[in-house]
Structure 1
Amino acid sequence: MRLLSVAVMASLLPALPAAASSRAGTTYYVDSRAGDDAAAGTSASAAWKTLGKLDSADLKPGDSVRIKRGSSFTGGLVLTPSGTAARPIVVGAYGSGALPKISGTGADCVTVKGDHWRISGLWASRCRWAGFALAGDHIELTGVRSDGNVTGVYVPASGSHNTIRGSVLADNNRMSVNDAGGDNDSGAFGVLLNGDDNLVTGNTITGSFAGSSDYGADGAAVEIFNGDRNRVTHNLARDNETFTELGAAKGKTAGDNVFAFNVVTSSRSRGSFLITRGARHVVGPVKGTIAVHNSVYLPARNTIGWSCHDGCAPSILKLRNNAIAVGGEAGWEDGAGADEDGSVYKARKARFKLGPRSVMADPRFVSATNLRLRPGSPALGRGVRLSASWYGGGTALVKDIAGRPVPATPNAGAYQG
C-alpha cells in the first residue's frame, strides 16, 4: 500500500474558508509570456507581464490576483495590503501547465506583510533566503512548491495564526551560516517558525539537509525558534536531517508546540525525529513540547528518535503513542526525564525510562517508506486515550494521517487503521 498523496491528505483536513467572498472585488491577471504592462490587467486577454504591476494595483479586501501557469519571474513579490477575515485577498494560478515560478537570489521570492491573504498554486525556487515569508497574520498558504532555498517557508516573529497546508517543500538545502567554530551554523529548513499559533499540516517536506562545518550536517523539516503554540500535524517528511529542532533565545520562549500524526522516514546515514533542550542549554529551556501519534523510521546507525537534554523534565517534553524505529538510539534524556507513555520503540540502545504502556519492540511497519502497521504489530492498541488538548485543542485535528478518527483504544503511531 502506498502513502496518501499530499492532495488526498489535504482533502481530509479541515476545509479552508471559501474564497467566494472575493467575487465583489477586482481580479487582476499576470502572464509573463503573453502579458503587457500597458494593458488593463483586469482580464486574461489583457494581462500584465510583470509582478511589479501589482505594486501599483492598490489591492483591497476582496480582490484577487491570478498568475498564468507556465509563467516565470525573477525577483521578489511583496504583498503589503491587508484583506479582512470576511474578504481576504486571494492569489492563485490559472490556465494549464507548470505552476508559475518565481526565482532569483536578489530577494525572498514571496513576502506577505499584510494580513488575511489566501495564496495558492505558486512555485518559489532558489530565492535569496526564503521561498515564502509570512510576516503578517491569518495568511493561508496552500498547494505551493518551494525548493532550493535556505528555508522553504519562513514565519518571522511578526507572523501568527498562519496556515501552511498541502504544499511540497523540497530540497531546501542551503545554509545561511556555515563557518568553522562557534556552534552557530544554520539553514536548510523546510519551514522555520519564529512566530506563534501557526499550523503546518498536510505537507510533504523532503531534503532539508546540508553539509555543516560545525555539525557535519544540519537541517530540519520544521525548525521552531522563539515560537509558541504552533501545531505541526499530518505531514510526510523524507530524507531530512532532523524532523524538528526547538530552541529559544534567552528571555524568549518556544513553548507548548505540538507535533502529531507526522510520518518521518529517511534513507540518509544520519538523522533524528525531535531535538529539544532544558534550562542548561544556551537555547533552552523549551517548555511544553508535545509529540503524539508520530511514526518514525530512520534505519541508519547514526540516528536518534528523540533527545531531551541539558535539564530534561516532564515540563520540557511529553510523548504519547509514537511508533519509532531507528538504527541508533531510540531516545535520550537526562535530569528528571521526559513524560513518556503508550509508544513502541525499536533501536540498538535507549537512554530513557519507558512509560507504563511503552515497549521496546519492532513496530512492524509495512516498509521503509510505508509506516502503516502490519497485522500482529505491538503498536496495535498500544496507545493511551488522550483528550483533544494533547493535539492543540479542538477536535478538527484529532484524526490519523489518513483521515480516520482516533478510537478509544488507539494504535501507537500515525495510522489508526
Structure 2
Amino acid sequence: MAEFCKLPEEMAMQILSRLPPQSLMRFKGVHKSWYTMINSPKFIAKHLSNSMHNHSSICVLFKLSVLKNNNTRDNDEKETVFSLLTFCNDDDDHTEHIIHHVGDDITKNHVVGIKAKDLESVWIIGHCDGIICLGGLADSSNVILWNPALGEFKLLNLEPYPDQVMTSFGFGYDPKSKDYKVVNIGKPGEEEYGDGHILNNPPTVQVYTLGTNSWREIKTGSLETETTNMWPEEFDMYFKGFRYWGGREQIKEFDNFCDRNEEEYVRQLIISFDTVDEVFHHILFPDSLYESFACWYFNMNVIVWNESVALFGMDYGICEDYSRVLWVMEDFGGVVKGSWIKQFTFGTAAGLEKPLQFWNRDEILLVSNGHLVSCNIDTGKLKHLPIPNYMDFDHLEAAVYVNSIVGILEARN
C-alpha cells in the first residue's frame, strides 16, 4: 500500500476516481495526500464525470407503498418507504438486470431525518449530480438535500409567504458559480373586488444557494405576459444549466367567478429556469398538440433523451393501442427556441400505463400490471425487475440518479 501511495498523482486520480463513493470515503484515511486529493474540486468533478458515463449500473430512488408485515399478504396495512436500489447489467449485451445492492430504506433508519409518519407527504423534487432534493415535509415549508452515497443530508428551512396557496420547487446546478440552487415558486391567492372582478396575483420566487446557505427573493417578470401568468407544475428536471417543468398559462383577470372557472387556463407549455441568470423562459409544445381539445396533451412528461430536451407521453390519436410518443427539441440551447421533431411512436400492451423514467436512450422504466419492468423502445422487449417486498405500484415514484461524492454539508468556494 505504501508503494501504491507513491504513484504519480495523475495516475492515482485515474484509478481512484473510478471507485464507488463508499470505498473512497474509507481510502481517505490511507494517506494524507489521498485525503487532500479526494477532497479536491478537480477529483470530485472527475469522479462525477466517470459516474455519469458508467452505464453498467443504474441507481434508483423509489418512493413506494409496502405491506407493514412482509411475511404475509393477509395483512393489507401499508406504509410508505423510500428505498435505494442499484441495478447492474449481468452480461456484456446489457440485456438483463440484477439487483447489486438494496439500500436501507430511510423509513426505518431516518437517513435524512424524516419521521415515518411524514413520509407519505414527501415527494421527490428532483436530483442533480448525485444530490436528491425532497420536499413536502409537514407544512411544505421544508426542503431536504440528500446525497445517498455519502449519507449526508441538509434541511433547508424556508419561510413561506403567508398568502401562498400553492408551491412548486426545482433543483439544479449553476455552472458559472459552481454552486447548487433550489427554486421555490409560490402561487399567491387571488384578489376579489366589490364589482366581482378577480385578479390572479403573479407568482413569487425565492432561490436558495447552497454555498451561502441562504434564501433570497428574485424578480418574476419573466413568468408574466400582459394577460397571463405562467405556473410550473410537475415533471421537473435539470439539464445543462436549466431547470424544466411542465406548466401552464393562467389568465390574470376575470370579470366574475363564472368566467374564471370556464377560461382560467390557456394552454400547457414547458417552463425553464436559467440557473446562472435566474430568469424564467417558456417553450411551447409541438403545434399539433394544441390543435384539438381531445388531444389531452397534459399527460406529457418533460425528460432528457439522448442529450436533448424531450416530451414523452401518450399518443391519444391512437389511444386504443396504448401507444407512446416522443417529441425531441432540435437545435435548442435552453433559451433559443428550437423545433420539435416527432422522434418515434411505439406501442405497448394494455397495462403499461405508468412510465416512470428513461434508464438510457433505449430503455424506459414502467409499471406493468403490478410489476416493475424495463421496456426496450426499439424491440418492445420487456424485462421484469426483481424488487423486494410486496408493494403498491399505483403510488410508486422513481428517480434515476448517479452516485457521487459531491458534498452538501460544507459551503463551497
Q: Indicate the TM-score class for this superposition, using the shorter chain for normalisation.
A: under 0.3
Higher strand share: 2
User: Structure 1 length normalisation: TM-score?
Assistant: 0.27
Larger Rg: 2
Higher helix share: 2
Which is bigger in relative contact order (C-alpha 8 A, separation at least 6)?
2
